[in-house]
Amino acid sequence: MRPPAALPAHLSMAPFTTYEARAARLSSSRLRSSDLASAGRLLYLPAGWEFELRGLARALSAATPGAWISHVTAAVVLGLWLPPWHRGSTELHLSKPRALPPVRRQGVVGHTVLAFDDEIMVCDGIRISTPARTWLDLARILPLNDLVAVGDQLVRHPHPELEGRGEPWATLPQLQVMLRRHPKLKGIVKAREAAGMIRSGADSAPETFLRLALTAAGMPEPELQLQIVPGDPRSPAADLGYRVRRVAIQYDGGHHLTREQQSRDNRRDEIFNAAGWRYFKFNADDLAEDFRGAVSRIRAALRAG
């Protein structure tokens, strides 16, 4: 039996739609060949393709006119923080407006929702919910503190040299608009509570959790990105702290293990210590115990101040 003709290069490495197959002039018989598998209506998978969420999300959105990638899938594609049990998610969440028939596709979690035009965008060829709308949709799925962590990630000011963008993904007023637009959405009560707890300045979810642990323990809300000399771009900054009490707090994540970062951290630590600040550093071990020990140590430092 003659082997099937080679697929065009752009169709051989990722899922593709019937529309793309027609544009490449693939015949119906070619689409039934053994080196292709159906992934449901209008979708095909080339043999040997290893699951990759972004590629399948792109094909799924293209095969479903009027729909968009949403919820956890949108968060993964956009690179938003998620708790560990969702990070490796292979679920495909697809939303449709109420005017269209509901999603009925094997392996796809369908949602019928009200969404405004500015809540949907195209990212790398994928029709997908915006970061702000994705945050709102996650309110039905994530615990409160995790939802706050995603919100902190959206409103923080990025580092252009590291992230390739100069503006936040969203602003708190934009999130507030989402809340007013969708007062009956499942999870809206939690989203409103989370919005009141979101702050700009946390560079990671653990920093958010540390801040929330401090305030939940009855301590004052700490200042974020606390500089020794406010407004001086050359001044070192701690992740959070209490200026009046001269208490500085740092969370060291995985990126702090590099030699370069450790050198920068050591210089920062020396400057804070030389200036007479009480300086605390915490890590993943403290996070694993929900910062209980950290809270006790900081509370003692504030009382002694």
Encode pLDDT of 4-32 as tens digits: 777 777 777 777 777 677 777 878 878 77
Query: Quick one: 80 and 142 in the same domain?
Result: yes
Q: What does DSSP assign to residue 118? A: G
Angle (CA) 155 122 164, round 5°: 50
The CATH number for 225's domain is 3.40.960.10
Query: Quick one: 75 and 170 in the same domain?
Result: yes
Query: Quick one: 293 and 211 in the same domain?
Result: yes
Encode pLDDT of 193-244 as tens digits: 999 999 999 999 999 999 999 999 999 999 999 999 888 888 889 999 999 9
For the entire predicted model, the pTM comes to: 0.85
Query: Quick one: 63 and 40 in the same domain?
Result: no
Number of independent structural domains in the chain: 3
Q: Is 1 a member of any domain?
A: no
Lowest-confidence region among 44-53, 103-112, 201-210: 44-53
For 41, the domain range is 9-46
In the chain, alpha helices (H): 18-23, 28-31, 53-63, 71-78, 84-87, 131-138, 144-155, 160-163, 172-181, 188-195, 205-216, 259-274, 284-288, 292-304
- Residue 176: the pLDDT is 96
Encode pLDDT of 55-75 as tens digits: 888 888 888 889 999 999 999
Q: Is 160 a member of any domain?
A: yes
